[in-house]
Structures are given as structure tokens and as C-alpha cells.
Amino acid sequence: MIVSRSILSILPLAIALAGCKTTEPAMSSPSPPPKPLSSFKQLRGGAAQAIAAGEPLAVLGGSLVTWWDGDSPVEVPLPSHVDPYGARWAADRKSLRVGLGAIDVATKVYRDEPALQTLNAIGPGGAFSARRAAWFGDGAHVAIVVEMRDPKGGRTTELAVADTGGRVRGRSKLPGMVTAIAASQDRVLVDASRLIVLDLDAKVIAEPKLSALRISEGAGMFAVTLTGGTGVALVRPADGSVVATWNLAANDAVPVPHGIVAVAGDGTVHVGCVDGSTVQEVATAPSGADGPIVRLVGGQLVVAGGTVDPIRVAAFTNPCT
């Protein structure tokens, strides 16, 4: 058999290529992004009136403050004159500031802050004048709604900002009764017939033209849940400007970085991300709560609503960037 010289010349190359031939591994498909919310877990005990800012989870209502040791609720009684809204954990988590005092975690006892009691005088009808309080994120100042009545029944309402030593930094007269209050690091948003943003000196910064059902604070923003199920608005604390709006019928809402988490009256949780001047929904999940409020506590979304064991928690992964 005669083999051509050309075939002989390419034979070593073919053998070399055959020896180098490898099988490429199949391309794996990318992992899907994590879901924003895990399934909700119902906790034992607690009340659904208010949720304290900061960690760990603490809820207030029914003249009690409740936090959890594992799965077991720890309950501390609140005096009847202490309003449960506006509570915030101290940075060291050794005390929970609420009203014009604090609960000591070690002793599980509430005590009024003596230096602040000059702002809580007893009026002609025997009622305390400090109607509501909200602790700022700096942990050193509190916004206090002071209501004074004259002998003829006339009422004057003002906002005072004081430090823990009782020094009043400023006062501002309010146009009406306060129905909601929330404090950020150095601003406070008050609903007193109209919305008003004030600073640490109780000076008016802005008056957002919004009709509020509820207000909350988080991620450097205020969230205003609008009346009549007409939506939710993000308000910048620094200047009171409306950053974004969400056309969603919500019962309550809380800001998260670059977004909002809202909850409807039926307990459905809606997660939305800011897109320009609007908010786009990216996920929903049932919570099982009824007529709830919502807050973000660390990495947990907390929904509180109902009567018996009203607190539900879920792990939250923020999808907004």
C-alpha cells in the first residue's frame, strides 16, 4: 500500500490534536436571587400597638412592654401615664427609652427620668401634660408633646425638644392635637392637624402637604401612609421633601434602603423599590395578621396585628439597590 507524503505529513498533527481534546463542563445556570421574605413565624405573647425602634424586638401595648428570650415572652408593666409610642432602645441595649423614662433590662422595671419630669406637670384635671414622646436616633434627645389646659377648658399644644438632663433646646407651638409622631436621627415628624418636620431645636423645617394615617422612620427616611388608602410617601427628614410616592392602599409602611415595605389591612406585605419619583412593587407575601402595623428590626420584618399572639416575624432580604 502506498501512502501519500501529504497524509504522512499531517498525521502527527492530527494525533497531537486528538490527545489535547478535552470535554468542557456544562455551563451552570445562575442561582436565583433570594426571596425578600421568608415565611412568617407567629410569636407567643406581645401586643400590636407599637414597635420600638432598634434591636432587639420589643413591642408595646396594653400597659406592657414585651421582648423575647428565645421563644419565651418577657413582659414588663408600664405605668398608665406612659404613652407607648416613640420608644427606642439605647445603643448599649441595656435600657429601652419610652415616654419620659426607661425600662432597665436587668431589673425589668420602668423608671421616670427625674430631669424630664418638669415637662410633665399635672394639669387642672389631674392629667399629665406630656401626652406623647419620641426618642431621637442620637439617643440623647427626646421630642415631647406637651398639652396644657386652662381653667376654662382651653387647650394649647406645643412640641419641646430636651436632652436627657432636662435641658430644653427649643419649643414650638403646634396647630392641633398630635395624632402621630416619629423621630429620626435629628428630625421629628409630627401630625398635628397637618404634617410638620422640626429639628433638634424644635424649629419648623417643612410642612409636607400630605394627609397622614400613620408615620414611621427608618433607613434615613420617613414613611407617610396616606389616609383613605391613597398611597405611601417617602419624606426626606433633612428638608421635608417628598422623595417618592407609591400608589398602594396600605395600612402602614416602613422605609428600607432604597425602598418601602408596606402592609395592607388584610395582612398582605408589599415590598417596593424606589424608581425615580415612584415606587415599583417587586414582591408580596401573606403575613396572617389583621389590621397590622409593620417595622424592620435588624434583619427581621415585624408585622403586628390582631388580638391573641399578634406578632409575626420573617427574615428580610432587601431587593432594592
- The confidence score (pLDDT) of residue 26 equals 56
* CA-closest candidate to residue 193, choices 178, 204, 173: 178
Residues of the chain with pLDDT > 70: what percent? 89
Distance CA 149, CA 193 (A): 18
- Cα-based torsion angle of the residue sequence 95, 99, 101, 105 in order, rounded to the nearest 10 degrees: -20
Distance CA 40, CA 44 (A): 13
CB-facing half-sphere around the CA of 306: CA atoms within 13 A: 18
| pLDDT greater than 50 at residue 16 | no
The residue that leads in pLDDT, 21 or 286, is 286
The residue that leads in pLDDT, 25 or 102, is 102
Distance CA 140, CA 133 (A): 13
- The confidence score (pLDDT) of residue 25 equals 56
Report the chain's C-alpha Rg in angstroms.
28
- The confidence score (pLDDT) of residue 29 equals 60
The residue that leads in pLDDT, 297 or 32, is 297
* CA-closest candidate to residue 188, choices 228, 231, 247, 145: 145
Give the torsion sign (CA, 246, 251, 254, 256). Answer: negative
Mean pLDDT in residue range 179-192: 97
- The confidence score (pLDDT) of residue 149 equals 78
Q: Which one-letter DSSP state was computed for residue 35?
A: P
Average pLDDT, rounded, for the chain: 91
Residues of the chain with pLDDT > 90: what percent? 83
58-67 LR contacts (CB < 8 Å, sep 24+): 58/87, 58/89, 58/96, 59/302, 59/304, 59/311, 60/84, 60/85, 60/87, 60/98, 65/96, 65/98, 65/103, 65/110
Range in 11-25, 73-87, 167-181 with the lowest mean pLDDT = 11-25
| pLDDT greater than 50 at residue 45 | yes
| pLDDT greater than 70 at residue 72 | yes
* CA-closest candidate to residue 219, choices 184, 265, 245, 176: 184
Q: Which one-letter DSSP state was computed for residue 17?
A: H
Q: What domains appear along the chain, each with residue ranges and CATH number?
A: 35-315 (2.130.10.10)
| pLDDT greater than 70 at residue 8 | no
| pLDDT greater than 60 at residue 7 | no
Mean pLDDT in residue range 143-168: 90
* CA-closest candidate to residue 59, choices 71, 76, 42: 76
> Could you read off the pLDDT of 187-209 as tens digits, one per residue?
999 999 999 999 999 999 999 99
SS3 287: coil
> Could you read off the pLDDT of 48-68 as tens digits, one per residue?
899 999 999 999 999 999 999
- pLDDT tier, 307 (very low <50, low <70, confident <90, very high otherwise): confident
Mean pLDDT in residue range 171-182: 96
- pLDDT tier, 124 (very low <50, low <70, confident <90, very high otherwise): low
- The confidence score (pLDDT) of residue 15 equals 42
Mean pLDDT in residue range 85-110: 97
Range in 118-122, 159-163, 279-283 with the lowest mean pLDDT = 118-122
> Could you read off the pLDDT of 246-302 as tens digits, one per residue?
999 999 999 999 999 999 999 999 999 999 999 999 999 999 999 999 999 999 999
* CA-closest candidate to residue 115, choices 133, 132, 135, 100: 100
